[in-house]
Structure 1
Amino acid sequence: MLNTIIVDDEEFARSSLYFLVQENCEGIHIAGIAKSVAEARLLLSNHQIDLIFLDIAMPGENGFELIPLAQQYNAHVIFTTAYDQYALRAIKANALDYLLKPIDIDELKLAVEKADKYIALNKKENNRNDSLQNLANNLSDRSEIRKISLPNGQGYSLIDINDIIHIEADSNYSVFHLVNQERITVSKVLKEYEEILPEQQFVRIHKSSIVNLNYLKEYNSKNGVEVLLKNGEKIAVSRRRASDFAEKVKSYIRIESDKS
């Protein structure tokens, strides 16, 4: 039996993965479930853990913060992520595996089978440590993200980032405004998406707004700086972000000009 923990900040993700593993993966014992890296550290300290299903994007500390302790306790990692980006190929090559949310049952089974075989082979610890370190380094490049998976209460909505016009903050929630006029509300703060989305395309223009420069129609400073988006919406740019925003627009125009 592989002693396993699940680490994810989303309740739906934790519970759904738990039931998927219980129903489809023999030889797995769920020793604990954590909703943060801090809780995962306690589990690793108190149990002999063979395998960790580890979410990447979590508030406070992300999944990579747990890697050193996973190495120390000789635990192996299968990453779970809602982000489809170039760096995932690095996960595929260097870690045991990754699972893209919403998790596919067949992919889960294959990942667990791979983990079982890998752990049985008892690879040398220094090789695994090097592999995990390479993984963390490779994943620092988020420029190739193409899709994100947004929890919607009943599951996930897989969204192409080019379909996002802008994102607005609503207390501790983020509201995605899409090209099809759909709105998706997610129980994550705006800062998390500011850190994940490509910064040359998505710009934080206000404490409550991120805009996709692909949909910028014009901006002016007649009554304070504001932007007009191609869908007709007007959004204010905060004074402290106005200078950075102008530079990002110039850089974006140069990049688009080079492409053409």
Structure 2
Amino acid sequence: MKNITAILVDDEVSNLKSLQKKIESLFPEIQILGAYQKPEDAIEAIEKQDISLLFLDIQMPRINGFELLSKLKDVNFQVIFVTAHSEYALDAFKKSAIDYVLKPIDNDDLVAAVNKALAIIKLQKESSSNLKLVSLLEENISKNNKIIIPTQKGISFIPQDEVYHLEGYDGYTKIHITTGETIISSYNLGKFEKLLSSKFFKCHKSHIINLEKVRHFENEGYVVLDNEYRVPISKTNKTAFLNLFTFKTS
């Protein structure tokens, strides 16, 4: 099944036919939804359809390629400019085109440009799919009592009881668990704070601890966990922390 869709725009019908023939031959996985000579017709078609790729001529009567892009509500697809003039290349990249191909079109140049676009489309789809999966899993987090942790390698599912504490740094989070392992996630600490159960307490702007793993409180401003790790506790959170253990402070 073809899941990569494209629209072609060029005011010269011979160029459209040539480009379409090359794409169909070199990339049979790409479904061409339409080939348009009139920019106005192309704009209407693009707004109505979900496309992955736009092959766009630059020099066209009434509306050039750059103007066509500026008239679209959203440009959530990859753009490959097809032009007879190399001086347009810099402007093309400024308009966020993935690449440009010079006329007359060389097959190797076309293949290189399209492969680059397809690689980005694949990454975007994988990222979107992973985010949807994580969101779905997070909806059930209270049922299975696990923390869903996106990592560079994939997704880890860690029971909350196995977590000592979470440590935020530079937008990332270190999750310290009872096996002695430390898992690093691209989620920031604030994201995890929303997902954790009431057994966790944010004792510092950069630290969240599992209250069931607390062994000592040190007056100088530290909480000692079962693994003997000393976690700082801020002055503003000290009273709230002690109250959780029914201590009374003066």
TM-score (norm 2): 0.45
Q: Quick check: which has more Rg, 1 or 2?
A: 2
Bigger relative contact order (CA 8 A; separation at least 6):
1
